[in-house]
Amino acid sequence: MRISGTVAVGVFLLLSFCTINPAHADTIALASGGTTADPGQTNSNGATVPISQNSAWANPLPGSSWVSYASTGNTSAPGFVQVPNGTIVSFFDSFNLAGAATSGTLAVMADDSATVLLNGVVLIGETTLNNTYAICSDFGVGCLQPTILDLPVSLLRSGANTLEFNVAQRNGSSFGLDYVGSIVDPVSTPEPSTTPSLVLGLGALVLIGFFRKSSSGI
């Protein structure tokens, strides 16, 4: 039994690198759907629920639903709840990251408006000055088109994270929240040190030498 030098080198390289796992990235998707769809979604009044939208609102963003703490969207829906002006309800979406994120984005809509926070830091606040709230907020987060925000990677941390939406009712009658987001979270498997890889490779060469000696009768 003879093994050529080329094959020996090939086996050496194969065993030297077979235990190295390349890094890969996970994309964490966030979307309003309610507590039943995602236990991490709650609000200061209890469970978050999907709602039938007010006809004046933009359609929910792809993969999401308009949500609230009760049936506060479509005024014609059975059990519609009128939210008093001045009410602010905090909605939370808690999620985990395996490592340090490299980027993140969020699209959000609300009626009448919302302040958005990431891990306690305000990303965008509500503007009340000269705001008519004719349908929903005239500025910032409203219900007619999404407001697009970057999620600063400096605020995203390995482990538990929380998005918070403080949704405000200013001028009746409907009330709701809708959002989608994504976070790129690289998950790296550390490469083994050079020494174990070389040991494996050298071990292969020793075995190859043994077989060559055995086959030659030495």
* Co-location of 149 and 205 in the same domain: no
CATH of the domain at 54: 2.60.120
* Co-location of 131 and 32 in the same domain: yes
Residue 206's SS3 state is helix
Question: How many domains is the chain partitioned into structurally?
Answer: 2
pLDDT 10s digits, 127-182 = 999 999 999 999 999 999 999 999 999 999 999 999 999 999 999 999 999 999 99
Instruction: Indicate the DSSP class of residue 52.
Output: P
* Co-location of 121 and 100 in the same domain: yes
* Co-location of 152 and 199 in the same domain: no
* Co-location of 82 and 174 in the same domain: yes
Residue 162's SS3 state is strand
Strand 113-118, strand 88-97: pairing: unpaired
* Co-location of 150 and 197 in the same domain: no
* Co-location of 105 and 210 in the same domain: no
* Co-location of 80 and 100 in the same domain: yes
Identify the band that residue 13 occupies on the pLDDT scale cut at 50, 70 and 90.
very low
pLDDT 10s digits, 36-70 = 999 999 999 999 999 999 999 999 999 999 999 99
Residue 202: domain span:
5-20+191-216
* Co-location of 150 and 202 in the same domain: no
For 15, the enclosing helix (H) or strand (E) is helix 5-17
* Co-location of 63 and 162 in the same domain: yes
* Co-location of 54 and 113 in the same domain: yes
Q: Quick check: 199 and 12 in contact, CB under 8 A? A: no
The percentage of residues in the chain with a pLDDT greater than 70, rounded to a whole number, is 74
Instruction: Indicate the DSSP class of residue 204.
Output: H
* Co-location of 134 and 36 in the same domain: yes
pTM for this entry: 0.76
